[in-house]
Chains A and B, each alone.
Chain A
Amino acid sequence: DAGITQSPRHKVTETGTPVTLRCHQTENHRYMYWYRQDPGHGLRLIHYSYGVKDTDKGEVSDGYSVSRSKTEDFLLTLESATSSQTSVYFCAISPLTGQGNTEAFFGQGTRLTVV
Chain B
Amino acid sequence: AQSVTQLDSHVSVSEGTPVLLRCNYSSSYSPSLFWYVQHPNKGLQLLLKYTSAATLVKGINGFEAEFKKSETSFHLTKPSAHMSDAAEYFCVVSEGAAGNKLTFGGGTRVLVKP
Convert A95-107 into 0s and 1s, putting 1 for each residue whose CB lies closer than 8 angstroms to a CB of B. Answer: 0100111111111
Q: Closest Cβ of chain A: how far from B108's Cβ, in Å?
A: 10
Residue of B nearest to A49 (CB): B99
Q: Does B46 contact A103, Cβ atoms closer than 8 Å?
A: yes
Is A94 positioned at the interface, with any CB of B under 8 Å from its CB? yes
B100 to A101, Cβ gap below 8 A?
yes
Which residues of the other chain, B, contact A40 by a CB distance below 8 angstroms?
9, 106-107
Candidates A33, A56, A103; contact of B34 at CB < 8 Å = A103
**Interface status of A50 (Cβ within 8 A of chain B):** yes
Residues from 74 to 115 in A contacting B, C-beta threshold 8 Å? 90, 92, 94, 96, 99-109
Residues of B within 8 A of A45 (CB): 101-103
Q: Does any Cβ of B come within 8 Å of A41's Cβ?
A: yes
Q: How many residues of A contact B (CB 8 A)?
A: 28
Q: Is the CB of B100 within 8 A of A31?
A: yes
Q: Mark A5-36, 1 if CB is under 8 A from B, else 0.
A: 00000000000000000000000000101010
- Chain A residues in the interface with B (C-beta under 8 A): 31, 33, 35, 40-45, 48, 50, 56, 58, 90, 92, 94, 96, 99-109
Given A100-B52, A101-B94, 11 other A-B contacts at CB below 8 A?
A: A31-B100, A42-B104, A45-B101, A45-B102, A45-B103, A50-B98, A96-B100, A101-B96, A104-B102, A106-B45, A107-B43
Please give the residue numbers on chain B whose beta carbons come within 8 Å of chain A beta carbons, in ascending order. 4, 6, 9, 32, 34, 36, 42-46, 49, 51-52, 90, 94-96, 98-107
